[in-house]
Amino acid sequence: MNMCDRCQDKVATIILTDDWQERLCGDCFNDMVSAEMGVMLEAMPEEIAVNDYSGTRRNFTVQRRLYPNGIFLEAVADIEYGYQFAVDGELECNQSELFQKLIDKVKRGVSKRFIKVGEFPNGQKYHSIIDDEVVGRIDHDEMSSSVPMIVIDGQPYTWEQLGEMVKSYEGFQIQMKFFDMTD
């Protein structure tokens, strides 16, 4: 684990290279870009917590990245393969409104359940799609480099598990829509 070359306090998550290499944490990177761009970053919470569709409290770490073309905010659940949400705004945007937009997106994103877990009389568990709709995120599957992991309701599903859930829709039409996580 590499520590930030500037503050020596946080884990470096960004590596800048040119004639030299510099490892920076998110805060030091944002401070550097802020100074270069003349953009003042407002203080904002580093964590948020919201209740999901079942009333379960979900904790998110908020990460902010300042780029020459705008501000990017991301909320990442504190569990592996959990929920992730992001928004972006112009450099001159109202940062409080952008943060509120992220909170609203997180609340909307965790408020609806797409997968139902049930149990057959013999005790075997099953997963089924609720209301013929599923929304999730494509992630990598550490067990297989050839197929993706699909995260739905903050839970990871293999491509095969999703395939089992859609078997009951044989003969139906399907519409797939892919969009950036900031949309």
Model confidence pLDDT, tens digit, residues 114-163: 999 999 999 999 999 999 999 999 998 777 778 889 999 999 999 999 99
Residues composing the chain: 183
Q: pLDDT by residue for the chain (183 residues), tens digit each? A: 789 998 999 998 888 888 888 999 989 999 999 998 888 999 999 999 999 999 999 999 999 999 989 999 999 999 888 999 999 999 999 999 999 999 999 999 999 999 999 999 999 999 999 999 999 999 987 777 788 899 999 999 999 999 999 999 999 999 989 999 898
b/e 22-54 (16+ beta carbons within 10 angstroms → b): bbbbbbbbbbbbeeeeebeeeeeeeebebebee
100 dihedral zone (left: phi>0; alpha: psi -120 to 50; beta) = alpha
| CA–CA dist 28, 43 (Å, integer) | 14
pTM for this model (two decimals)? 0.86
Q: How many CB atoms lie within 10 A of CB 77?
A: 19
| CA–CA dist 40, 27 (Å, integer) | 13
Q: 46 and 27 in contact (C-beta within 8 Å)? A: no
